[in-house]
Amino acid sequence: MSIQPLIEYFKKYLPLNSEDIILLAERIKPRNIKRKQMILQEGFVCKHYTFVEKGCFKMYGIDEKGTEHNLMFAAENDWVADLGSFYSGKPSKLFIEAIEPSTILQIEKQDLLYLFVHSPKFDRNFRVIVEEKFIELQNRLLQNFSSNAEQRYLDFLEQYTELALRLPNTQIASYLGITPEFLSKIRKNRTLK
């Protein structure tokens, strides 16, 4: 398994030189993940920052009634981790599960910190990645209290254009905070317009 997709990914921030690539290759671990396989479960510490080379993941929590609430999706060329658990070392309240068979690259906390110290590019690149995720989260929170369900669906289609075709209605509905039946109604109304 190659780390080339990750090297290409970093080119949109601060590109890596040959020394950076060697440092990264020594610390990153490739894995193949089956559909429905968990890479994080509630109650366990998030030990990896995960880059999705191929496939799709959902990060979700479960409320006291047992209802699943999708917080985010991560597909090709995206990162997924419970950052609160990863940095604090405290047990996670979230799950990260593969929606499709996936190929991932994972880095553990101590290896990531090593990269930060030994190559400032990694520190900068990951800072920008976290900032972008924070902005996504802010936008999502704003949408949840200021937009109706149809507008949230349109925003979802804009943010996850390709994923919208790959995800089942139940997953999209959970992300939007609506029932699958209501999502079907929104889709039907949109085709009638």
Give the tens place of pLDDT for each residue, 70-128.
999 999 999 999 999 999 999 999 999 999 999 999 999 999 999 999 999 999 999 99
Residues 6+ apart with CB under 8 A from 6: 24, 28, 51, 53, 105
- Strand pairing category for 48-54 and 68-75: unpaired
Give the tens place of pLDDT for each residue, 20-77.
999 999 999 999 999 999 999 999 999 999 999 999 999 999 999 999 999 999 999 9
- Read off the pTM: 0.90
Mean pLDDT value of segment 135-160:
87
Query: What pLDDT sits at residue 1?
Result: 64
Going 68 to 70 to 37 to 25, the CA torsion angle's sign is: negative
